[in-house]
Amino acid sequence: MATVTFDRATRVYPGSDDPAVDQLDLQVEDGEFLVLVGPSGCGKSTSLRMLAGLEEVDSGRILIGDRDVTHAAPKDRDIAMVFQNYALYPHMTVADNMGFALKIAGLPKDEIRRRVEEAAAILDLEQFLDRKPKALSGGQRQRVAMGRAIVRQPQVFLMDEPLSNLDAKLRVQTRTQIAQLQRRLGVTTVYVTHDQVEAMTMGDRVAVLKDGLLQQVGSPRDLYDRPRNVFVAGFIGSPAMNLLELTAVDGGVRFGDTVHPVERSVLGEAGQNRVTVGVRPEDLLPSEHGLPLTVGVVEELGADAYVYGTTTVDGEEHPMIARVDGRRPPAKGDTLHVVPNPGHVHLFSTVDGHRLG
């Protein structure tokens, strides 16, 4: 097993002035499951391909363990990659697909067979070893791709959106299997996804990227409870956090016809009389006072319901989401009043978006 280190690693594509990945500093611990997440074009797949040796590193270094692999060929990095599109050979059986890299490496047939059968047992693929990929479902093909990586016994697994071709139910099931498998094998894993729910449910730690820059790295709970800036706050969590620019007044910020208390020192950090206030949908509480929320859509989920509507701040309409009791949801067109749950309010600078306090 091994650690992975991005040491100010940068990639600028030819013809572009802006780096796709900009001085990425990131340490992945031995045996850790780290997820790179962010919107399309944020640099997460480029970062993974740099680690795999499929993209050049224009400046900085990448290390696997203590070994600098910045300019090493992909085959010399002791990594195994699982792709989005499975990349299976259609004319080969499952067993031959899983063992192909070992065959190319010149391992004896009995050793290849042993490793393939061990991986098939782990992945519940034993009954499919003699089938061709076309006879398998999408989930089974993805397990074959996983098996091909496992038999290599690499120092690092790299996974590039491996679940995006699966349907919703299978995606949930397979992400659980991958997380359990990684913990069982203990192999350092770097996993790329644009789906923040996937990131939150799978990763030991999650690294959020935007425009090639690392925004925050931490445990899923850290990112959810203490987002470092407005981007992370709005990106992590489903449904998304409500973010509103509110006026600072004596003792706090104005929240409709109430004042949410905020320490004077925190308001002083803001440097002006406007503050971006973030409140998650589950932390908006029904009240007789507070911000008025006009109900547009009610999404009923059984025990809970999400209300999607609008509120008016300083004459401007803003979207707002609140979680309410699913057994007594409001009707479309109703107006609720909500106040934030004390202790669960996030404050950000309206100037640079950074967290206050």
Helix (H, G, I), strand (E, B) or coil at 297: strand
Q: What three-state secondary structure class fits 179?
A: helix
135: tokens are: 């006879």
For residue 97, which of 44, 133, 139, 51 has the smallest C-alpha distance? 133
Q: Report the alpha-carbon distance of residue 160 to residue 80 in Å, rounded.
A: 11
CA dist., res. 145 & res. 122, Å (int): 13
Cα separation, 155 vs 28, whole angstroms: 12
**How is residue 77 written in tokens?**
């990095």
Q: List, for the chain, all residue ranges whose pLDDT scores fall below the cut of 50.
A: none
Provide the pLDDT for residue 1.
Answer: 66
Predicted local distance difference test score (pLDDT) of residue 271: 67
CA–CA separation, 38 and 193 (whole Å): 7
Rg (CA), the chain: 24
Digit-coded pLDDT (tens) for 26-67: 999 999 999 999 999 999 999 999 999 999 999 999 999 999
SS3 for 108? Answer: coil
* pLDDT tens digits, 83-131: 888 889 999 999 999 999 999 989 999 999 999 999 999 888 999 999 9
**Looking at residue 274, what is its pLDDT?**
87
Question: Contact, 100 vs 92, CB < 8 A?
Answer: yes
Q: How far is CA 155 from CA 88, 105, 293, 329, in A?
A: 22, 16, 52, 51
Q: Where are the domains of the chain?
A: 4-227, 239-349
Say how many CA atoms lie within 13 Å of 256 toward its Cβ: 18
| Domain 4-227 of CATH type 3.40.1160.10 | no
- Give the 3-state secondary structure of residue 342: coil
